[in-house]
Structures are given as structure tokens and as C-alpha cells.
């Protein structure tokens, strides 16, 4: 965190000079449209002295470059008690302060876990393991309350990809759907008690079961439907996705966005860590090959598709920063470097042109 702290000091010193320009940007035509990236691992990457470049070969500031390209919101995961400082509360609070000084809005994604939470894994934090259900609800309220008081995000998810539930076994939807609703309600209550401005996102992985899921959570007081869409896991038809988003918007009257997406610019690799996407059968062909233009066209078409929907407000690109940061021989590096927004020379890719709403 030393490099990040140093950068924060510099930004705060000169913030008054640059802030007037940044505050008027917000990605283009509307401050309500979200052009987001999830760069949760960037604090760790920044500690390794990684340099980034524009397509003229000039060194750039990673965060400033994102802002200049039209990114207006940064999404950050938050773990309760991780094994190191990565995605810890202190790291996310400090990083959020830096990002706000640059003009970004903040979107916090508490996982209610010490590690990754997703439909296949909603592992309860170790320090919450012995708590009963009522105590779990109190911890959720306290956790969100702390986020709201100390980070003050513009957007907050109550859990990550929660279509199977949260905090197993207490909030497992299959066995305890009522308890799941109570837990999520506690998180939302903590948001509403602190802010009338912060928007609450409920996040479903994929769209196939989304109608069922948002029927379940319909009684809850949330603002935005968030859907993850990765072709490798969620189907290869943007048309099917659009039809479902239209249905969700019509049925529930909520704002709607793609909360996570990504696409490869190559099927190659830049370290010895196995990549998640590496086969042509995982792509949408022939429309979107694994090339820089294929990646750009995918995001352009996805963005435009969302904005054509009533209540569609934007998208978030996941893993924008996940270059092969640990070196070309690392076996524990990036599984995502062929889906980052920078190529294997850490140079900006054409897809970044699609983040502006101008």
C-alpha cells in the first residue's frame, strides 16, 4: 500500500487544480449513466511498479487514463477479513478516497465473506462462523453501516451474485429463503439509515433464472437490477440477453445494468497461469473474435443494447486491470490478462473508446 498512499498524498495536494475538470466529465451526456470498471486488484498491482502506456507508446497514469476515456464509476469488492490486505476494509477505504479525489463515483460490492462469493460459493466469514441467525443479521447491518459511514459510496450491492443466497447456511435460498430476505433487508436498512442518495443494487449472475430471483426479492427496497453477463457462462446471444432485460425492466420498473462483463482480445497468454477463457468455443463467433476489434465491438454492442432498454443505465467491465502483473513466468498470476483493457505490453486497447457516452 506504500505506493498507493504516496499517490493519494500527491492527488490531495493538487486535487483543487484538477478537480474542476474532473467533476464535469462523468462519462458524457448524463451523470445517471454508469460507465464502470472493477479494478479491485489495482492496489496490489500498483505496489509492483507496473507501468502503463497509450497507443503512441507514452507512459500514462492508469487511473487518470480511465477517467479521460469516460469511465465514471469504480466498482470495488470488499472482503470481511481476508488473509492479506487485498480487498480489506482499510484498503478499500483508502483506495476509495483516492478515487473520489480524481472524480470517480464509488460502487462497493461487499461479499459477506473472507474470499470470493458467487453462486457456487457463499462462505461465511470466519469470525462470524459461530454466530446465530439474529447475530448474523446484526453483523450485516453493522458491516454495511460502517461502509456507509466511512466510505460513503454512490452505489452499493448487498452481496455479490446472490442468486443462490448469502452467508451459507443461514441465507441459503434453497433451504432458507425467508432468512435470505431478512439478511438482505438488514443490509438495505443500513444503507437507507445513512443516505437517501446511495443506490442499492441486487446482483444476479446470468439472466436465465433472473425472473425467478427478482420475483423473490421484489418486496425489498432496492434501486437497481444488476446482471452478470459472460458468454462463457451465460450464453452467446446478446438478443436473448436483451429480451430478458426488457422483461425485467417491464416487470419490476427498476433501473438495470450489466454489473459484470468482459471479453478477450486474444486467446494467448502472458504468464504461466491458466486463463479462464482460452478456447474459440467460448467465444461468440463469427461476430466477436478474440481480437482487439472483437473485444471493442462486443462492449460497444453490449453498451448500446443496454441503453436501448427502458431504465437501462450502463455497464461494468470486470478485471480491467488484471494484466500479467506477477511476471511472464508466474504460475500464480493473472487468469484474466487476455481480457484486461490493456494488452500484453500494458498498452491501452481500442475497447477503452467505448467507455464514453459522448
Q: Which domains does the chain possess?
A: 2-11+33-355 (3.20.20.80)
- The answer, yes or no, to whether the previous bond of 352 is cis (omega within 30 of 0) is no
The pTM score is: 0.92
Nearest CA to 226 among 261, 250, 186?
Answer: 261
Cell numbers for 76: 470495488
Note down pLDDT in tens along the chain; length 358 residues.
444 443 443 333 334 333 333 333 333 344 589 999 999 999 999 998 999 999 999 999 999 999 999 999 999 999 999 999 999 999 999 999 999 999 999 999 999 999 999 999 999 999 999 999 999 999 999 999 999 999 999 999 999 999 999 999 999 999 999 999 999 999 999 999 999 999 999 999 999 999 999 999 999 999 999 999 999 999 999 999 999 999 999 999 999 999 999 999 999 999 999 999 999 999 999 999 999 999 999 999 999 999 999 999 999 999 999 999 999 999 999 999 999 999 999 999 999 999 999 7
Amino acid at each position: 500500500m506504500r505506493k498507493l498512499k504516496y499517490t493519494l498524498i500527491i492527488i490531495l495536494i493538487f486535487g483543487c487544480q484538477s478537480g474542476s475538470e474532473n467533476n464535469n466529465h462523468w462519462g458524457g451526456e448524463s451523470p445517471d449513466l454508469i460507465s464502470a470498471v472493477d479494478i479491485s486488484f489495482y492496489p496490489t498491482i500498483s505496489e509492483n511498479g507496473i507501468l502503463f502506456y497509450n497507443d503512441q507508446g507514452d507512459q500514462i497514469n492508469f487511473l487518470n487514463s480511465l477517467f479521460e476515456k469516460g469511465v465514471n464509476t469504480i466498482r470495488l469488492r470488499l472482503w470481511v477479513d481476508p488473509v492479506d490486505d487485498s480487498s480489506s476494509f482499510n484498503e478499500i477505504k483508502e483506495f476509495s478516497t483516492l478515487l473520489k479525489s480524481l472524480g470517480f463515483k464509488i460502487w462497493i460490492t461487499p461479499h459477506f465473506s473472507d474470499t470470493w462469493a458467487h453462486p457456487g460459493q457463499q462462505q461465511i466469514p470466519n469470525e462470524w462462523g459461530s454466530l446465530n441467525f439474529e447475530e448474523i443479521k446484526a453483523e450485516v447491518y453493522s458491516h454495511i453501516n460502517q461502509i456507509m459511514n466511512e466510505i460513503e459510496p454512490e452505489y452499493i450491492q448487498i452481496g455479490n451474485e446472490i442468486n443462490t443466497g448469502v452467508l451459507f447456511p443461514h441465507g441459503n435460498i434453497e433451504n432458507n429463503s425467508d432468512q435470505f430476505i431478512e439478511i438482505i433487508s438488514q443490509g438495505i436498512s443500513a444503507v437507507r439509515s445513512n443516505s437517501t442518495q446511495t443506490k442499492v443494487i441486487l446482483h444476479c449472475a446470468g439472466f436465465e433464472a433472473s425472473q425467478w430471483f427478482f420475483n423473490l426479492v421484489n418486496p425489498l427496497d432496492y434501486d437497481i437490477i444488476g446482471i452478470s453477463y459472460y458468454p462463457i457462462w451465460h450464453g452467446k446471444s446478446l438478443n436473448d440477453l436483451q429480451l430478458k432485460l426488457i422483461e425485467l425492466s417491464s416487470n419490476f420498473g427498476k433501473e438495470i445494468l450489466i454489473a459484470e462483463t468482459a471479453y478477450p482480445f486474444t486467446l494467448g497468454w502472458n504468464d504461466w497461469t491458466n486463463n479462464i477463457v482460452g478456447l474459440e468455443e467460448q467465444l461468440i463467433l463469427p461476430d466477436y473474435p478474440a481480437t482487439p476489434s472483437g473485444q471493442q465491438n462486443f462492449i460497444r454492442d453490449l453498451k448500446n443494447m443496454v441503453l436501448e432498454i427502458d431504465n437501462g443505465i450502463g455497464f461494468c467491465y470486470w478485471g480491467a486491470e488484471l494484466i500479467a502483473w506477477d511476471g511472464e513466468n508466474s504460475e500464480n498470476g493473472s487468469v484474466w490478462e487476455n481480457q484486461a483493457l490493456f494488452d500484453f505490453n500494458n498498452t491501452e486497447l481500442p475497447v477503452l473508446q467505448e467507455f464514453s457516452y459522448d
